[in-house]
Amino acid sequence: MTVKTAETNGTATELAINLDDLTIDDLCELEDLAGEDAVAAMLAGKPGPKVLRGLVLLSMRKTNPDATIADAGRITLSSLPSPATPPA
């Protein structure tokens, strides 16, 4: 698993997105955040930007419980660990 550090609002946050580490509650929250069946989208290999933003938020909250969806939305694609980066 690749770990990268991203910065939002002057706060450095480690990002490590490992789908195998998600809990059932994480998956439910991800679907609430994305407004779609995030699991089906990921299994189909077509997660949209809202799914990525939700995954980033879940990752950010592991080291920064105060992280918000707005913070996650400001993360650049180049800041994401490579497995979460969509193909060009």
pLDDT tens-digit map of 24-80: 999 999 999 998 888 888 888 888 899 989 999 998 888 888 889 999 998 888 877
pTM, to two decimals: 0.75
For tokens 């490992």, name the residue: 18
pLDDT score for 32? 93
pLDDT interval class at 87 (50, 70, 90)? very low
| Residue 47 zone, left/alpha/beta (φ > 0; ψ -120 to 50; rest) | beta
- CA 68 from chain centre, in angstroms, equals 12
- Residue 86, pLDDT score: 45
What residues pair up with 5 in beta bridges, in sequence order? 14
CB 81 within 8 A of CB 15: yes
Instruction: Single out the residue of 59, 57, 66 nearest to residue 3, CA to CA.
Output: 59
